[in-house]
Structure 1
Amino acid sequence: MTGSPRPFVLGARIIAEGAPVFIVAEAGVNHNGDLALAKRLVDVAAEAGADGVKFQTFRSEALVSRAAPKAAYQQAATGADEGQREMLARLELTPDQYAEIREHCARRRILFFSTPFDEASADALEALGVPLFKLPSGEITNLPLLRHVAAKGKPIILSTGMSTLAEVAEAVAAIRAAGDPPLALLHCVSAYPAPPAEMNLRAMDTLRDRFGYPVGLSDHTLGIEVAVAAVARGAVIVEKHFTLDRQLPGPDHPASLEPGELAALIRAIRSVEAALGDGEKRPMPSETDARRVARKSLVAGGPIRAGERLTPSRVRIKRPGTGISPADLPRALGRTVRRDLAADEVIDWEALAEE
């Protein structure tokens, strides 16, 4: 599929190439199950200038079987003495707590939304009035959940970590068939942290060209460079985990940005998106002085009297660029000089008679 991607409309905002990048501060489970900490994360995201702050909504008993082990990165961060289910149980928030977070987001004027990991969680978020859903990489083959969320008709951002192109195609087809809501695809490498050498940012082009939806990046690398590079390559959404402190206990803190880093990322993205421009090649206002000083003009090679003709031997090409351009030398040669010109004087069209 070629041509411009389908529009992704979120309220009054259109997320598309040429529009401001939609920046998602991913709080995830970095609240550690603490409502006060969750609200502080909202404050940090708002102060940094993020467009939205995203959480993860789940019920551990519906998400994870008792026998499910922790991932290696989870064991490194939280130890191996418990299973994944026990760990996640400590990171749950209740619907009432999410309602408080939503209200806090409204006060801070930042968009609240969350990732549901099961149908009941999606329904709870719907009841809270979230304006969109984020579906995670781990659920991309959970077609029943994708259909359930798509049937609600709200915009969906779908991460594609760990996926083949065929799996993405199947997920997109399921979403289209269940309601065809606005959709955006995020390229992702689901490692914590993800090695920059494996980020394969050109896969964003593949997703955009193959499916015709806006694309972005869910970035799990350390630092901000890869996310900024993604914007330069056309990402219209950037999602990045953040924390109050990487030393806090919990599975995702070590691979998250701290508050100052999140603010630096957002500043860098805004700078890069402004630098991308509109693609028209033209002199910019900031170049006006340099254009005048650095370019060259025709100047008198010696004294030239009024009434004499301008000949090649009487012309030199020197700075500044305030007179006749060297590109117009053929038009200027042979014309009569209207007034006396001193040696090294810049020649302008007023000094030459009409042909």
Structure 2
Amino acid sequence: MVREFELCPGRRVGGDQPCFIIAEIGQNHQGDLDIAKRMIRMAKDCGADCAKFQKSELEYKFNKKALERPYTSKHSWGKTYGEHKRHLEFSHDQYRELKKYAEEIGIFFTASGMDEMAVEFLHELDVPFFKVGSGDTNNFPYLEKTAKKGRPMVISSGMQSMNTMHQVYQIVKPINPNFCFLQCTSAYPLQPEDVNLRVISAYQSAFPDIPIGYSGHETGIAISVAAVAMGAKVLERHVTLDKTWKGSDHQASLEPNELAELVKAIRTVEKAMGSPIKQLLPCEMACNEKLGKSVVAKVAIPEGAVLTLDMLTVKVGEPKGFPPESIFDLVGQKVKKNIEEDETITEQVVENHVKKVKC
């Protein structure tokens, strides 16, 4: 069985634990603290386990030219990319306020540290776990420094190869065993043919000692539910209050009703996964009593006759007798009394009868 570990206080992932659902607010808060709080509340009300943001220290994430380049997209919050990003970036004090709010209402709070200085701040903020965004998964110095902090890690794998993910595993595992990988394709919105859910199975085979999850950017909830059915133990989906808002992530995000539906569907699927043992269940007994078939006499059978297959058939009978799978075992058995045509064959009329089977 895949090992499990404590991702957040009192909440474990992996093994037979329920899927940990992350509502990725990211920067869909439009740079507005009140909207951010509304989104945390929405995530909580919809049943998500964690509300997640994206924290950057811009001068450490981008070089000067990247921040100074003109940004004329319809989604822009400024004339340059730097102005745009600064509008969407919360201060340290605002992050402290958001974390406190999340704790007050009872939902876990974390953020992706989008650069090493952001990770330092999040460590100081005492988030329960670090989320490594796909853009930093092949940033090996960043990974090593983050792993050394000792907090659990959730690592997305968008834009990466299996070879890279093996390298990531080899870097992180000796330093910090409490981490998981998320299958992810970095496209917004993501088309179904590019999801590649089978990578979840490939990761489960390649890395059998860590939990595997899924970070989705598709529209709707069906694919994410399928990921959980395939064994995803952590699920991350972007969320929004309104898909029509300005911002490139909103279109690939779930609105409140969709998030609530997703959580409900996941919890239903988890119940439905059940046991790998196939057996007659208590809930099937009524149907079995009503529709379950028995071996009956195809013809009149005299006392002392030795049963042959052409004497027997299978019908829904009253009372219940030998189940159909016993018919070949009955061949060659001697009957102790006359049996009428169409009469159920019961244990009482067969010498040295085989035991009635229920399965």
Which residues of structure 2 form unaligned runs of 5+? 354-359
Aligned partners of 1:48, 1:320: CA distance in 2, in Å? 50
Match of 1:100 in 2: 97
- Indicate how the Cα distance of structure 1 residues 183 and 75 shifts in structure 2: closer, same or farther if over 3 A, else same: farther
SS of 1:184 mapped into structure 2: strand
C-alpha distance in structure 1 between counterparts of 2:170 and 2:64, whole Å: 32
Query: Residue 178 of structure 2 aligns with which residue?
Result: 182
Instruction: Write the deviation string for residues 308-331 of structure 1: whole angstroms up to 9, x where unpaired.
Output: 646446543211483112332344
The equivalent residue for 1:208 is: 204
- 2:55 aligns with 57
Determine whether 1:121 maps to 2:118: yes
Equivalence for 2:356: none
The whole-number CA distance in structure 2 between the counterparts of 1:171 and 1:284 is: 44
> Does the alignment pair 1:239 with 2:236?
yes
Q: Distance in 2 between matches of 1:317 and 1:208?
A: 45
Normalised by the length of structure 1, the TM-score is 0.87
Residues 77 and 251 in structure 1, CA contact (< 8 A), matched pair in contact too? no
Cα gap change, 1:31 to 1:314, in 2 (>3 Å) = same
1:343 is displaced (CA, Å) by 4.6
Instruction: Flag the 1:77–1:318 CA change in 2: closer, same or farther, 3 A.
Output: farther
- The answer to whether the 8 Å contact 1:310/1:337 transfers is no
Instruction: Summarize the alignment of residues 6-17 of structure 1 with structure 2, pairs less than 5 Å apart.
Output: 6-10=3-7, 11-17=9-15
When normalised by structure 2's length, the TM-score is 0.86
Partners in 2 of 1:39 and 1:216 — Cα distance? 26
**Partners of 1:288 and 1:76 in 2: CA distance:** 63
Contact kept? 1:59, 1:89, Cα under 8 Å: no
Question: What does residue 297 of structure 1 align with?
Answer: 294
> What secondary structure does 1:78 align onto?
coil
Partner Cα distance (2:169, 2:350) in 1: 69
Alignment partner, residue 357 of structure 2: none
Letter in 1 for 2:13: I
Shift of the 351–23 alpha-carbon distance from structure 1 to 2, 3 Å rule, reads: same
How far apart are residue 184 of structure 1 and its match? 0.4
Give 1:43's aligned residue. Answer: 41
Distance 1:16 1:102 in 2: 25
C-alpha distance in structure 1 between counterparts of 2:194 and 2:11, whole Å: 32
2:195 to 176, 199, 222: 199
> Quick one: distance in 2 between partners of 1:88 and 1:209?
39
Contact 2:20 2:49 in 1 (8 A): yes
Partners in 1 of 2:296 and 2:185 — Cα distance?
61
Deviates more, 1:105-114 or 1:281-290: 281-290
- Structure 1: state its 5+ residue gaps: none
The answer (yes or no) to whether the contact 1:61–1:85 under 8 Å persists in 2 is: no
Percent identity at matched positions?
34
Between the aligned partners of 2:124 and 2:142, the Cα distance in structure 1 is 17
Question: Shift of the alpha carbon at 1:170?
Answer: 3.1
Classify the secondary structure of the residue corresponding to 1:197: helix
Higher relative contact order (CA 8 A, sep 6+): 1
C-alpha distance 353-183 of structure 1, shift in aligned 2 (>3 A): same
Shift of 1:353: 4.7
Query: Which of these residues, 277, 282, 297, is aligned with residue 280 of structure 1?
Result: 277
RMSD of Structure 2 on Structure 1 (CA): 2.7
Amino acid at match of 2:6: V
Q: Secondary structure at the match of 1:31?
A: coil
Residue 28 of structure 2 is matched in structure 1 by: 30
Deviations 1:95-117 (A, max 9, x none): 22222222222222211111111
Structure 1: which amino acid aligns with 2:199?
A
Structure 1 equivalent of residue 143 of structure 2: 146
- The whole-number CA distance in structure 2 between the counterparts of 1:168 and 1:257 is 28
